[in-house]
Amino acid sequence: MSDLYRSAMHARIAKLPQLPPDLPGEEDEDEDEGSEAADTIGALPSLSTRHPTPRVPRTPNPEYAPLSGASFFSEAVQVNVPASKLDVRVYYTPPQTADSSPGSVMICHHGAGFAGLSFALFAKEVTKLSKGELGVLSIDARRHGKTMPTEESSDEDLSLEILVQDLCNLLQVVFPDTTAAPSLLLVGHSMGGAVVVDAVPHLLEARYRVSGVAVLDVVEGTALDALPHMPAILNSRPEGFDSVSDAIEWHITAHQIRNILSARVSVPSLVIPTPEPRVRGARAFTWRTPLHTTGPYWEGWFRGLSASFLAARTARLLVLAGTDRLDRELMIGQMQGKFQMVVVPNTGHMLHEDDPWTLAQTLVEFWRRNERVIVGIKKVGDL
């Protein structure tokens, strides 16, 4: 194994899931239906008629039972966004201000394959630490979670340009009057980091006040280096699950998420009932967003991210799950003091789920420092 391949496979910032273990009961399933082993002499059936024993679905483990996200946000609503032809699922806790000011709202955009509830525990901690002054709005992107297309339109396009348009269109529906809109702190994880960074100039042009942008666990150089190996990694993921609890358990045992409580809230929105009719042996639940179908967009998400991040005309924060090497542009930018960087130890790629408490402290401090800056005075990162 080359050093490049080993580095990419083990990079904490790879943006897509690590190699997971097989689910119990995966081996030898449907070996007579087109597997490579079926083409070998050893796999030939005997002359007698074969009657394969049906696979018995796994019994759900109560330790991994799904949890509602109702206690983590004030409301969950579907927002019709005509400009994007989407019915967008939004999880929202509005800011509580002492006066009539619009306050501030943190806008959270998830990564590829995940959903808005991945910020559930984090959002509740933000509300607690800010004493309700900082609201939180977390969304399900197109082809993710409970966001659905309208007008019989297609939601297949996951290009960066379309995702940025979706976010801006949504905010224009939720906060139509820019003079009365709250200030916006944009937070994006992985793919979502690219979306919020590219959204900054569009929102500023529309006269929204953007107090900062935070990117969670994504570095352009490392992401691009890892992309060629992603198909092999994704092929090792299970195609489905016997139950939602089964999906939650897999995310924990495969170390995709290290916080059981967070996984019990966020994972249910990542899977859907397998469409009928199911092929023999298919699991009862399948992925809401099959990541292998998003391959054509991977490079577009991350190419140019560092330059766009450094050019954003607002305060900038990069939060990493480990001491991953910055690419050249970010390294120079850091030396020039163009952004703040924080490392959250003992976390994986889903750092906002693994340690929502530490991340909330970091983001609330970042918000307080930049929200108090008098208009016209440079913010952190505006050099």
Q: Which whole-number Å values give the CA distances from 170 to 80, 138, 321, in the listed order?
A: 8, 11, 29
Q: Which of 190, 245, 262, 269 is catalytic?
A: 190
Q: Is 349 a catalytic residue?
A: yes
- Residue 292 catalytic? no
Helix 191-205 / helix 160-174 crossing angle, nearest 10 deg: 50
DSSP states of 78-141 as a string? EEEEGGGTEEEEEEEE----SSS---EEEEEE--TT--GGGGHHHHHHHHHHTTT-EEEEEEPP
| Strand runs labelled E in 140-218 | 148-149, 183-189, 210-216
- Cβ(252)–Cβ(348) below 8 Å: no
Closest CA to 52 of 240, 279, 281: 281
Residues 87 and 80: beta-carbon distance below 8 Å: yes
Catalytic residue chosen out of the listed positions 155, 166, 217, 242: 217
How far apart are alpha carbons 281 and 240 in whole angstroms?
Answer: 10
Catalytic choice (225, 349, 352, 354): 349
- 190 is a catalytic site residue: yes
Q: Can you tell me the distance from the alpha carbon of 118 to that of 25, in angstroms, rounded to the nearest whole number?
A: 28
Record the tokens describing residue 123, joined without a space.
Answer: 């959002």
Which residues are marked as active site?
190, 217, 349
